[in-house]
Structure 1
Amino acid sequence: MSFLANLFGRKSSAPIARDRLQILLAHERVAGEGQSELIAKLQEEILEVIKRHLAIDQDKVQIKMDRGTGVSMLEIDIEVPEMKALEAKASDATDKVEQPEPSSA
C-alpha cells in the first residue's frame, strides 16, 4: 500500500488543514469589517422577494443578526396577513387575468 501512496504522492493532511484554516480566518476578518453592509443588503433583497408575493406591513418586520462560535444567523420575523385575505387577493387577480376581452364581431 505504501508503494501506491509513494507513486501517487499522497499529501499529508496538516498543510491542507492549515491552508483551510487560514482561508477561514481571512474570511472571518473580512466578514467582521463589511458585515453591516452585507447584512443590510441581504435584508433589503429578502424583503423585496417576499413583497413580490405577499403584502406585508414594514412595521411588522423584525430583523436580527446573531453571531456565535462558528455560526452567523440572520433571523427575519414577518407577520403574514391572514390566509383568507391572501386567497381573496389571489382569486381577484386570477379573475382579472382570465376574463376575455370583448370582441367587436
Structure 2
Amino acid sequence: MSIFNYFLKKEKKSTASVAKERLQIIVAHERNKRHQPDYFPKMQQEIIAVIRKYVNIDDDQVSVQLDNNDDCSVLELNITLPDRSAD
C-alpha cells in the first residue's frame, strides 16, 4: 500500500523552504541595489515623473537599470507604453 501512497502524495513545499527562497530573492535584490549610486532612486522617480507628464503609466511599467562596465556606465530605461486609443 505504501507504493500507492508515494505516487498519490502531492509534493508540498515546507514553509521553511518557501521562506528560504523568498529570503534569497530579497538578498539578491539588496545586493543589486548596493552597487547603485546614492542618487539613483531619486533619479528613477524623477524620470518616471517626467514620463507621466506625457503618458499615463504605473511605476511597474518602467524599469530603470544602471550597468557599470570597466570605464563606462550605461543607463537602461524600459517603458511599457499603453496602447493608443482610437481617436
Instruction: Provide the TM-score with structure 1 as the length reference.
Output: 0.43
**C-alpha distance after superposition, 1:55-91 (max 9, x if no partner):** 01222222211000111111111100112x2x74xxx
Distance in 1 (alpha carbons) for counterparts of 2:75 and 2:54: 21
AA of the residue aligned to 1:73: V
Distance in 2 (alpha carbons) for counterparts of 1:73 and 1:42: 14
Counterpart residue number, 2:49? 48
Which stretches in structure 1 are left out of the alignment for 5+ residues? 1-34, 89-105
Distance in 2 (alpha carbons) for counterparts of 1:82 and 1:45: 23
AA of the residue aligned to 2:43: L
Identical aligned pairs, as a percentage?
33
Counterpart residue number, 1:76? 77
Instruction: Indicate yes or no: 2:57 matched with 1:61.
Output: no
Instruction: Provide the TM-score with structure 2 as the length reference.
Output: 0.51
Tell me how large the CA RMSD over aligned residues is: 1.7
**C-alpha distance after superposition, 1:19-70 (max 9, x if no partner):** xxxxxxxxxxxxxxxx532111211111110001100122222221100011
Distance in 2 (alpha carbons) for counterparts of 1:72 and 1:50: 22
